[in-house]
Structure 1
Amino acid sequence: MSQALVRKLRDKLGARYILDKPEELATYECDACVLIQKKPDLVALPKTPEEVAFIVQACIEANVPYTARGAGTGLSGGALPMQGGVQIGLNRMDRITEIDEANRTATVEVGVINASLNLALKAHGLFYAPDPSSQSACTLGGNIAENAGGIHCIKYGVTTDHILALQVVLPDGTLTWMGGKNRRSHGPNLVGLMVGSEGTLGVITQAIVKLTPVPEKVRVYLAAFNSVADAGGTVASIIQSGLMPSALEFMDAFTVVAVNQAFNVGFPENAEAVLLIELDGYPAQLLHDEIKLKEILAAHQVSQIRVGETEDERAALWKARKATVAAYGRYAPAFYLNDTVIPRSQLVPLLEKIYEVAERYDVIICNVFHAGDGNLHPHVLFDPDNADQVRRGMQASEEILHACLAVGGALSGEHGIGIEKSELMPLQFSPESLETMKKLKRIFDPANLSNPEKIFPMRTACGEARHAISPSLLTGEGLWI
């Protein structure tokens, strides 16, 4: 790292906000996907969009790569500095600069925590709909970069459906706004291009987000089933019926037992599968939807129904759902979280395939996922000190992913491609499609300094992958969670 660059950044931001000691850099060496680790050469912690622009301009002048990072809750290695360089930590940019009730918008800096925004909106009778499971920790900048989803995406949509405008530092150092409050913009949809681009086209610093009125009435139904097929069939029937729940989540038997043991939430442990189904809206509409829902549940042999009506009862159910990863820690010290999307009609066959793969590779695979939009999240539990177990777990994951793609699925539902799945992009996209994406990257970032080596396959001269989570690259050494 150029000492001239270090001095320049220290003079601008202050020595306190430039980190370069080994113990400081170690805290940035991985995200929540711990299977890949890479330390930055330097971490800069700006407070304003103008300071972000200064950092990018300084990196351009020094020909040094830079990578933006939020809370580090990502699961695809998207915020790892694969070429070293400067890590731009955006957590200090945590202001909600405006809540506009009349236009139902909020203007926020990207370091705002997702749940904190909703806490601030509560008094206004509004909420920001995208709610990933890491909602209490993840920041909006990371959500935007990865186009995060969440429990309520079946009805309200994913992150891209709620972003009206973005302030971005482009890879030439320009600080600019794209889009606007009026929900209509002319010309190319640059906001849509930026959402989900994983920091490869620029560093997002602020956003104007769309807000939604808090529904008048909300109920959450816990429905237990004696078979995965009945639960999966219920999901398909709900969607086919035209009923639009605000959330539709699946938990398998292993997950239910794990959550009960960890948090004593009283889920029915004799069930093979549990669905959490949320309905919201006007009271009359909710009554109509509840009648239809109960008819569907009865047709699929539901064994137990519990209703959460009060805010505390609903919160307890959703807390249990979002705490499943913590509950898995009782069974293994680490996990690999798959993220893929399939047609909802293929839900039952794919779950059967997952359990068959788990048995064949002798690994624990447990399932909790967004059933309403077909976003599967098989969790492979493993001991990182057991290299053979890691290898079998990754082989099982790869086979599951291939099976999902074979039925018309996609590589990722909400976690992004990052470095985790970059070498697998040719499985879903043609060479022509990939080249078109790369051309866009070159137009925005001809020097390839903005979060390099992400999304697209990176191959050596001999044709072998340089990075990817695959059995051939994992030894089990140095993995932790």
Structure 2
Amino acid sequence: MLTLYKGIPDVVVLPTSTAEVQAVVRICREARVPVVPRGSGTGLIGGATAPLGGVMVSLTRMTEILELDLVNRCATVQPGLINLWLTNAVRERGWFFAPDPSSQMVSSIGGNVATNAGGPHCLKYGITTNHVLGLEIVTGTGDVVSVGGKAADRPGYDLTGTMVGNEGTFGLVTAITVRLLHLPEAVKTALASFASLVEASEAVSAIIAAGIIPAALEMLDDAMIGAINAAVGKVYPDGAGAVLLIELDGPLAEVEAQAERVAAICRERNALLVTVARDEAERALLWKGRKEAAGAVGRITAAYLLQDAVVPRSKLPQIMREMVAISKRHNLLFANVFHAGDGNLHPLICYDDRKPGELERAQQANEELLHACIALGGSVSGEHGIGMDKAKNLPLQYADADLNFMFRLRRVFDPDGLMNPAKLLPSHPACGEGFRPSRPTLPAGTWV
């Protein structure tokens, strides 16, 4: 999937400070050269590629924890800091950083902010925007601005929320103040297996309807179970049509009571088997399978398209049926692993890129699935972002007036259309070619 979006920058720079980032942006603006921010490169939407050339600003050397303020339950970090490194730095003191995308071992916090990343535990704890208190940004005009901060209530516009998820189209984030949370007293992780995706989906709705909000509620289908078991050892039961990975955390007495209730609900919904991890080693194994799913699928397919659409949780059984129909119609295998608790789908549409026409068939299946999700009141993206991958699909979800408003907002921070062009928003003739600038040559002697 990642090779569908390519681009070669004219120059790559590796700044270490806000001042250096600002200098690069100002030079690029003067020379009318596109600026493409890049973190760890783990994104799935082509958001950190340079299709129009220009200057790629790699933030991989900006990895410092600038401040740990546990009194105020926050930390300020540079954008290149790896997500998991922050939790590792504070875990022994009883804290953690909640957003946990499956790539958290290698993805950067700046990239998480750019795409408003989620993760398995966003069901209970929320996505990245819920944990960002403040940002320092170099805008497309070359100005350094600070938005938000440690204070709980700040007057004026919520510019922090506006900046999270902008995918580098407003500017480059150079410092991030994030919220830290106390580690929960107790954690229990359960696995429930079902005969089908539909039955597992019905169990998801029943758990939430009972007033229980698990920390995580993940679903995997039989194709993904087989791939994971082949890649990392037998983690999940053979013969199941789907499994639910259910994690509960909080005060010990509450977690134990919820675990019993969740197990009972799953059995009421025809679960084939319900087990609870007996220790941290068993829990880690269950999560190892989930975290390595995208890599494990290489055991069953040469290539795949990874979807990130969303449907209302109550529509999960319906979209599962539709997914089966699309799979059969195009004669393509769908391998499912997704955040069932909030309806964020991640089917991997498997195809063989060595066979003529299979990529096109997979892309058609992908489009049909997106349309089905929108028809059920869903969204084209949950946590991966838009990038180059889904810009053309935004009109499925937004009216012209909505998109025009977004274009005008983008112009405020990036009046020249140089910041990560050809990303997030669809091409828009009414706005001219500002967001798709030509590929100029840097003037001789230009400092980069």
Name the TM-score, length of structure 2 as normaliser: 0.94
> Secondary structure, in 3 states, of the residue corresponding to 1:106?
strand
> Secondary structure, in 3 states, of the residue corresponding to 1:339?
coil
Distance 1:266 1:441, change over 3 A: closer
> Secondary structure, in 3 states, of the residue corresponding to 1:209?
strand
Q: Which of 314, 328, 341 lines up with 2:283 in the alignment? A: 314
Distance 1:190 1:460, change over 3 A: closer
Task: Please list every run of 5 or more consecutive structure 2 residues that lacks an aligned counterpart in the other structure.
Answer: 437-448
Match of 1:188 in 2: 157
Q: Deviations over 1:236-293 (max 9, x none)?
A: 0111111010000000011111111111133111111100000001111112212221
Counterpart amino acid of residue 150 in structure 2: K
Task: Please list every run of 5 or more consecutive structure 1 residues that lacks an aligned counterpart in the other structure.
Answer: 1-31, 468-481
Counterpart amino acid of residue 51 in structure 1: E
- Does residue 329 (structure 1) correspond to residue 314 (structure 2)? The answer is no
- Does residue 304 (structure 1) correspond to residue 266 (structure 2)? The answer is no
Q: Is the 8 A contact 1:218 1:309 kept in 2?
A: no
Counterpart amino acid of residue 425 in structure 2: F
Counterpart amino acid of residue 154 in structure 1: L
- Does residue 410 (structure 1) correspond to residue 379 (structure 2)? The answer is yes
Counterpart amino acid of residue 326 in structure 1: G
Counterpart amino acid of residue 302 in structure 2: P
Counterpart amino acid of residue 289 in structure 2: A
Match of 1:343 in 2: 312
The Cα of 1:460 is off from its aligned counterpart by 7.5
Match of 2:443 in 1: none
Q: Which of 29, 37, 41 lines up with 2:6 in the alignment? A: 37
Q: Which of 64, 68, 71 lines up with 1:95 in the alignment? A: 64
Q: Is the 8 A contact 2:6 2:50 kept in 1?
A: no
Match of 1:247 in 2: 216
Aligned-pair Cα RMSD in Å: 1.6
Q: Which of 198, 201, 210 lines up with 1:232 in the alignment? A: 201
Match of 1:284 in 2: 253
Match of 2:34 in 1: 65
Counterpart amino acid of residue 108 in structure 2: T
Match of 1:7 in 2: none
**Cα distance in structure 1, aligned partners of 2:22 and 2:173:** 10
Q: Tell me the percent identity.
A: 44
Match of 2:442 in 1: none
Q: Which has the higher contact order (CA 8 A, sep 6+)?
A: 2
Q: Deviations over 1:170-223 (max 9, x none)?
A: 111112211011132210111100000111011001100001100010010011
Match of 1:380 in 2: 349
Q: Is the 8 A contact 1:170 1:201 kept in 2?
A: yes
Match of 2:167 in 1: 198
- Does residue 453 (structure 1) correspond to residue 422 (structure 2)? The answer is yes
**Cα distance in structure 2, aligned partners of 1:431 and 1:247:** 36
Q: Is the 8 A contact 1:76 1:421 kept in 2?
A: yes
Equivalences, count: 433
Match of 1:423 in 2: 392
Match of 1:353 in 2: 322
Q: Is the 8 A contact 1:101 1:124 kept in 2?
A: no
Counterpart amino acid of residue 352 in structure 1: R
Q: Is the 8 A contact 1:338 1:379 kept in 2?
A: yes
Q: Which of 64, 74, 82 lines up with 1:113 in the alignment? A: 82
The Cα of 1:363 is off from its aligned counterpart by 1.0
Deviates more, 1:403-412 or 1:312-321: 312-321
The Cα of 1:386 is off from its aligned counterpart by 2.1
Q: Is the 8 A contact 1:247 1:277 kept in 2?
A: yes
Name the TM-score, length of structure 1 as normaliser: 0.88
Q: Which of 129, 154, 176 lines up with 2:98 in the alignment? A: 129
